[in-house]
Amino acid sequence: MKPSPVIELNGVGVSFGGKAVHHDLSLRVEEGQIVGLLGGSGSGKTTLLREILGLLQPDAGTVRLFGIDLNEPDVDRQRNLRRRLGMLFQQGALFSALSVFDNIAFPLRELRCLDADWIRRLVHLKLAMVGLEPAHGKLMPAELSGGMVKRVALARALALEPELLLLDEPTAGLDPDRSQNFVELVGSLQRELGLTVVMVTHDLNTLAGLATHVAVLADQRIIAFGPKAEVMTVDHPFVTGFFGADRRKLL
């Protein structure tokens, strides 16, 4: 039996105040792919991620994750579905009332199956993964620098080691060294766990280092989707403009 695609969007349409953001948009992401989602600013990249997460219900079309429709009425199936994905929000979106440790421990505690020692080890493991010290666990989100917020948010998104990881501008605001570390980290996790990753990014280095596939969002739909090398050759004003002279760097 062929496994169902991790993400399947079919004819999705959404509009804000009469202005169409997506129209008849379709996308199919298979297991193990790392998809870089590109598009000009205001082209609806974050909106697309919100649709995949089920935070925004499209006006038309269907969104299926792991073969399950997001409109599935069964609450238990919905919750189990949500546990299979992790999201890194653009601004981090850490719970400001909880410490770093509690932020990362939160999804683990919500399972109500793990004991305190297990959770503590896992949290410290995640902290080490994203390059933070155990002592950082005591800090509150307000005391963190921008780059640290991002790393803690990534650690939280990885807490359950989800099968699908959605990243909104993961390396924006990180210094080049850190973003290289980040690329290596996500790459190694992907190999170990067979993660599927969808990331919105403007950073060509991240895209070159990580993505296996590229999806280009323009004119309210996905105009190109495929392996990196293939998409580079697409003749569309956005694609040629975006990659420009750097086209070769990605290959």
Partner 1 sequence: MSTSPRLLVEPGRVVLSGCWTLAEMLPQLPALEAELVACAGHNEWDLSAISRLDSAAAVLLWRTWGARWPVGLVADDLHRQVLERVADLPLEIAEQARPRRRFPEMVGALLLKAVGNLRGMIALFGQLLLDVAYLVRHPQDVPWKEFTANVYKAGAQALAVTALVGFLIGVTISYLSALQLKSFGADLFIVNILGISIIRELGPVLVAVLVAGRSGSAMTAQIGVMRVTEEIDVLSTMGISRTIRVVLPKIFGLTVAMPLLVLWTSAVALFGGMLAALLQLDLSFAYFVDNLPRAVPVANLVIGLSKGVVFGFVIAIVACHFGLHVKPNTESLSASTTSAVVTAITTVILFDAIFAVFTRNIGVP
Q: Which residues are near partner 1 by CB under 8 A?
A: 83-84, 95-97, 99, 101, 111, 113-114, 117-118, 120-122, 124-126, 128-129, 134, 137-138, 140-142, 160-161, 163, 188, 191-194
DSSP SS3 for 146: helix
Q: How far apart are CA 59 and CA 14, in angstroms?
A: 5
Which sign does the torsion angle of CA 187, 189, 194, 200 carry? negative
**Cβ nearer to partner 1, comparing 26 with 188:** 188
**Cβ nearer to partner 1, comparing 135 with 245:** 135
**Cβ nearer to partner 1, comparing 55 with 128:** 128
Q: How far is the CB of 124 from partner 1 (least distance, A)?
A: 6
**Cβ nearer to partner 1, comparing 58 with 137:** 137
Q: Is 182 exposed, middle or buried (0-12, 13-18, 19+ CB in 10 A)?
A: buried
Beta carbons of 164 and 198 less than 8 angstroms apart: yes
Q: How far apart are CA 58 and CA 42, in angstroms?
A: 17
**Cβ nearer to partner 1, comparing 33 with 99:** 99
Strand boundaries in the chain, DSSP class E: 7-16, 19-29, 34-39, 60-65, 68-69, 85-88, 164-168, 196-200, 213-218, 221-227
Q: How far is the CB of 187 from partner 1 (least distance, A)?
A: 13
Beta carbons of 37 and 50 less than 8 angstroms apart: no
Which sign does the torsion angle of CA 53, 198, 38, 219 carry? negative
Q: How far is the CB of 118 from partner 1 (least distance, A)?
A: 6
Q: How far is the CB of 123 from partner 1 (least distance, A)?
A: 9
**Cβ nearer to partner 1, comparing 163 with 168:** 163
Q: How far is the CB of 192 from partner 1 (least distance, A)?
A: 6
Q: How far is the CB of 142 from partner 1 (least distance, A)?
A: 4
